[in-house]
Amino acid sequence: MAEHAIPPRNSRPGGEHVVSAGHPLRRLVRRIPLLAWLVLVWLLLWGTYDLGTTLFGVLVGVLVTGFFPAPPIVTDIRLRPWGIVRLVMRLAWDLVVSTARVSWHAVAQGPRARAAIVEVRLVTDSDHLMAMVANAVSLAPGNFVLQLDRANRICYVYALGCGRDASERVRREVLAWERSVVRAVGTAEQLRLVERTHRGVEVD
Amino acid sequence: MSWVDLFSGICLITGAASCLFGAIGLLTFPDVAARLQAATKPQTLGLILILIGSAVRLEARDASGLILVGLFQALTAPVLAQLVGRAAYRAGSVREETLDVDHLAHRIERERRRGL
DSSP B36-88: HHHHHHHHHHHHHHHHHHHHTTS-HHHHHHHHHHHHHHHHHHHHHHHHHHHHH
Average pLDDT over residues A61-67: 87
Distance from C-alpha of B38 to C-alpha of B51, rounded to nearest angstrom:
20
Cβ contacts of residue B20 below 8 Å, gap of 6+? none
Tell whether the model's pLDDT for residue B87 goes beyond 80: yes
Task: Name the 3-class secondary structure at A17.
Answer: strand
Give the pLDDT score at A139: 84
Q: Which domain holds residue B41?
A: 3-115
Instruction: Name the residue in chain B with its Cα closest to that of A37.
Output: B68
Residues on chain B touching A156 (C-beta within 8 angstroms):
103-104, 107
**Shortest alpha-carbon distance between residue A143 and chain B (Å):** 8
Q: Does B36 sit within 8 Å of A138, measured CB to CB? A: no
Give the pLDDT score at A201: 62
pLDDT > 70 fraction of chain A, expressed in percent and rounded: 83
Which residue from A135, A171, A187, A127 is spatially nearest to A153, judged by alpha carbons?
A127
Tell whether the model's pLDDT for residue B16 goes beyond 80: yes
Give, for A32, the enclosing helix (H) or strand (E): helix A24-46
Give the pLDDT score at A13: 44
Q: Kindly report, residue by residue over B21-63, the tens digit of the pLDDT.
A: 888 888 888 888 888 888 777 788 889 999 999 998 888 777 8
Tell whether the model's pLDDT for residue A21 goes beyond 70: no
**Contact assessment for residue A133 and residue A155, using Cβ atoms and an 8 Å cutoff:** yes
Q: Does A115 sit within 8 Å of B41, measured CB to CB? A: no
Q: Kindly report, residue by residue over A28-62, the tens digit of the pLDDT.
A: 777 788 889 899 999 888 888 889 989 999 999 98
Count of domains observed in chain B:
1
**Shortest alpha-carbon distance between residue B60 and chain A (Å):** 9
Instruction: Name the residue in chain A with its Cα closest to that of B85.
Output: A146
CA B54 to chain centre: 21
Looking up residue B53, the CATH number of its domain turns out to be 1.10.287
Q: Does A99 sit within 8 Å of B42, measured CB to CB? A: yes
Tell whether the model's pLDDT for residue A2 goes beyond 60: no
Average pLDDT over residues A68-83: 78
Q: How confident is the model at residue A19 (pLDDT cuts 50, 70, 90)?
A: very low
Which residue from A95, A160, A2, A68 is spatially nearest to B73, judged by alpha carbons?
A95
Give the nearest partner residue to A102 out of B38, B48, B89, using CB atoms.
Answer: B38
